[in-house]
A and B are shown apart, each in its own frame.
Chain A
Amino acid sequence: MSINGKAYIVGAYEHPTRKADDKSVAQLHAEVAYGALQDAGLTKDDIDGYFCTGAAPGLGPLNMADYLGLTKLKHLDSTDVGGSSYVLHVGHAAEAIALGLCNVALVTLAGRPRAEAMATGTAPRSWGVNVPDDPFEIPYGRTVANAYAMCAMRHMYEFGTTSEQLAWIKVAASHHAQWNEHAMLRKVVTVEEVVNSPMISDPLHRLDCCVISDGGGALIITRPEIAKSLKRPLVKVKGHGEATKNQNAGYTDLTYSGARWSGPRAFEEAGVRPADIQYASIYDSFTITVLMQLEDLGFCEKGQGGKFVADGNLISGVGKLPFNTDGGGLCNNHPANRGGMTKVIEAVRQLRGEAHPKVQVPGCTLALAHGTGGLLGTRHGSATVILERE
């Protein structure tokens, strides 16, 4: 079964807050859900499918469904693959809709790591209890930052990738963020400023890392007949792919990501090629995350990511592949330490023609959103969706 054309994203909402001192996580979920419903022109009781992750407070979707007053649910999915979850949820929602399991799906994400002063990237952190790899990794100070830095180090060793090339990814994001009034970092930066920022985990500098922010977002996905009855531009789910990559029993290869598998699955289902994509939302927890995903999604050859991103090739209006035109995780926000939601939202904005005029891709009809969740250097989830303006 293909989901191509079986579901549409009709509601998308990003919370404007970046520091939510005065709101609970549950309340942030409520506000993004309401925002997405308003955007779609639907109401709470239209929702019969609900998607969230372990970042939502409570037991799977149960406590949030209660807080939000969702009483008509007949399909639930709390698959958690970190920041890639929300991209994966779009695919799962389209599958559920195509099978007739639900009609209107709501996906929510919210969190407040900034208000809670969380050391997101630099403090060792387990995902739970009885995790079998923890005794072999946590005592060694495994953090988000060093698990990505080791990939960057190996990429440089194998392919000659440089810190200056990685810096171009941040530079491009900052060019976009300057137009986003909600972005945390709106100042346009230079390659020199990135490579001269403090080293966090060799070879990643502070400006190679994404921001830590509060906030969240929500999406509404529905069947074609309902989508066509609403007043919003039609954004069709055209293809989806998901994958996990792990340590491969000790024979891990850190030069590629799970996008090597999720990307081709999405492209095949959509019936399009990387060269057809006019705008891409690419997960940007770190600059190296973007570079490896671009290679693995097929936007350039393996090992050529450094050359591909250099000289502004990711800047809208300048380069061949405009990416993360909201400023992305590197400059705009990374709500709940999970960037997949905002990746989908900005792709929807581009397809609707509702991105900031300074970064809007003219006549954008085909976009990709991709997420990597968990740790690139140990085990991670990967999800790709391809969306089309109809």
Chain B
Amino acid sequence: MATMASNRALPAIQVDPTNKPYFDAAREGRLLIGLCKDTGKHFWYPRGCSPFTLSNNVELVEAKGTGTIYTYTVMRTKEPYCVAYVELDEGVRVFTNIVDCDLDSLKIGQKVKVVFKPTQGDAPPATMFTPV
């Protein structure tokens, strides 16, 4: 059995003043993650404060863009799609989709790399992953 990931239409991403730099980088094909400069720890999802100290001593740093599947599920809807948490090599677990593959072949622990997929209108792309 094989279930190819659908190319379902993605809703436009709502950009706000705080998350805009993340999505500007996504338009350029770069994956950024949060870094708390108080503790030196990465965090996800990007935000304007450190979830470790609550200070605004944070910045966005570029991630390698590779990781492994921490967990996943395939939504068996008319247009099947895979929702997953990918653990980036930097350690944070990112809520995402696994795309461009046979959804019935996926495994926890599988290596994946980032791909950016267009969303509706001129909104920034979505950050997704595909098997390496």
Contact = CB atoms under 8 A, between A and B. Distances in A.
A139 B119 contact: yes
A131 to B, nearest CB: 9
B47 interface: yes
Interface string A143-155: 1011101111110
- Most central of A130, A153, A157, A200 by chain B CB within 10 Å: A153
Nearest to A205: B76
A247 interface: yes
A154 B84 CA distance: 11
Given A150-B85, A154-B108, A250-B42, A136 B91 contact: no
A249 B84 CA distance: 17
A133 interface: yes
A379 to B, nearest CB: 11
B47 A132 contact: yes
- For chain B, give the interface size range: 35 or more
B15 A247 contact: no
Interface string B103-132: 000001000000000010000001010000
Interface string A15-45: 0000000000000000000000000000000
B71 A157 contact: yes
A359 B81 CA distance: 41
B55 interface: no
A88 to B, nearest CB: 24
Nearest to B33: A250
Nearest to A151: B71
A142 interface: yes
B76 A199 contact: yes
Interface string A225-249: 0000000000000000000000101
Contact of A145 (B75, B92, B119, B126): B75
A202 interface: yes
Interface in B21-80: 23, 33-34, 41-47, 51-52, 70-77
A154 B92 contact: no
- For chain A, give the interface size range: 35 or more
Contacts of B18: 132
B13 A135 contact: yes
B74 A254 contact: no
- Most central of A134, A249, A254 by chain B CB within 10 Å: A249
B45 A202 contact: no
Nearest to A133: B45
Contacts of A382: none
A196 interface: no
Given A157-B108, A250-B44, A140 B96 contact: yes
B89 to A, nearest CB: 13
B74 A201 contact: yes
A247 B96 CA distance: 14
A201 B45 contact: no
A132 B23 CA distance: 14
Contacts of B73: 146, 149-150, 152-153, 201-204
Interface of B: 8, 10-11, 13-16, 18-19, 23, 33-34, 41-47, 51-52, 70-77, 81, 83-85, 91-97, 108, 119, 126, 128
18 contacts: A122-B77, A135-B15, A136-B94, A138-B11, A139-B13, A140-B126, A146-B75, A149-B73, A150-B71, A150-B72, A150-B73, A202-B74, A247-B44, A247-B45, A247-B93, A249-B92, A250-B92, A252-B93
Given A154-B71, A198-B76, 18 more contacts: A132-B19, A135-B15, A136-B45, A136-B94, A139-B119, A140-B95, A140-B97, A147-B83, A150-B71, A150-B85, A201-B75, A201-B83, A247-B45, A247-B93, A249-B41, A250-B92, A250-B94, A252-B93
